[in-house]
């Protein structure tokens, strides 16, 4: 098994999108990239902790390669809007790839460069590609939110 971590705006809909992919074993939503230990949703929403809302994915690379997860990541959000997805704004909604090894970093950088060169998006991609740091699991009521609430979710 391997781990991937992505921030693409509100984590509810992003988690649901990744959970549907064959080869994804488990998903969890949480916070990463900030300065406060054990942050709460309220802390992160203050936009003062530096954390992003993220989805951490456990996947089987023999069933789904990391590049396929990256392709899904670019499709589930607008990677050209800094600190904003739909009506949600703040650094916690930034577009970010937290890579877990050098191969993930190279794959993310190469795909970002390719998408920009091909003009897939009308504006340049602003997605951050940074080393994974401590993942803080979000409160239980956020986990599998779309699944628990019959498909209602935030904008993705």
Q: Which residues, 6 or more positions from 75, have their beta carbon under 8 angstroms from its beta carbon?
A: none
Q: What is the pLDDT of residues 41-90, one digit of tens each?
A: 999 999 999 999 999 999 999 999 999 999 999 999 999 999 999 888 99
Q: Is the dihedral of CA 98, 78, 147, 39 positive or negative?
A: positive
- Encoded tokens for 19: 């959970």
Q: Is the pLDDT of residue 155 over 80?
A: no
Domain ranges across the chain: 2-137
Residue-level pLDDT at 141:
86
Residue-level pLDDT at 67:
98
Residue-level pLDDT at 26:
98
At 142, the pLDDT band (50, 70, 90 cuts) reads: confident
C-alpha closest to that of 75 among 145, 132, 143, 17: 17
Q: Is the pLDDT of residue 37 over 60?
A: yes
Bridge partners for 42 per DSSP: none
| Catalytic site residue from 2, 10, 29, 54 | 10
Mean pLDDT of 93-108: 98
Q: What is the mean pLDDT of the chain?
A: 94
Say which DSSP state 9 is in: S
What's the Cα-to-Cα distance from 154 to each of 13, 58, 87, 115, 117, rounded to whole Å? 6, 23, 9, 26, 30
Q: Which residues, 6 or more positions from 71, have their beta carbon under 8 angstroms from its beta carbon?
A: 111
Q: What is the pLDDT of residues 45-54, one digit of tens each?
A: 999 999 999 9
Does the annotation count 45 as an active-site position?
no
Q: Is the pLDDT of residue 96 over 70?
A: yes
User: What span, in angstroms and rounded, lies between the C-alpha atoms of 83 and 81?
Assistant: 6
Bridge partners for 88 per DSSP: 85
Single pTM value for the model: 0.94
Domain 2-137 has CATH 3.30.1060.10: yes
Residue 143: CB atoms within 10 Å: 17
């Amino acid at each position: 098994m391997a781990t991937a971590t992505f921030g693409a705006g509100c984590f509810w809909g992003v988690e649901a999108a990744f959970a549907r992919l064959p080869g994804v074993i488990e998903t969890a939503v949480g916070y990463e990239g900030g300065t406060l230990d054990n942050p709460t949703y309220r802390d992160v929403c203050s936009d003062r902790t530096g954390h992003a809302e993220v989805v951490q994915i456990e996947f089987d690379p023999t069933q789904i390669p990391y590049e396929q997860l990256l392709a899904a990541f670019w499709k589930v959000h607008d990677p050209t809007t800094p600190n904003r997805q739909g009506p949600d704004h703040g650094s916690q909604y930034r577009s970010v790839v937290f890579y877990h090894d050098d191969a993930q970093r190279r794959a993310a950088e190469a795909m970002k460069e390719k998408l920009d060169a091909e003009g897939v998006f009308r504006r340049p991609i602003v997605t951050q590609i940074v080393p994974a740091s401590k993942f803080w699991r979000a409160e239980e009521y956020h986990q599998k939110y779309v699944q628990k609430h019959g498909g209602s979710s935030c904008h993705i």
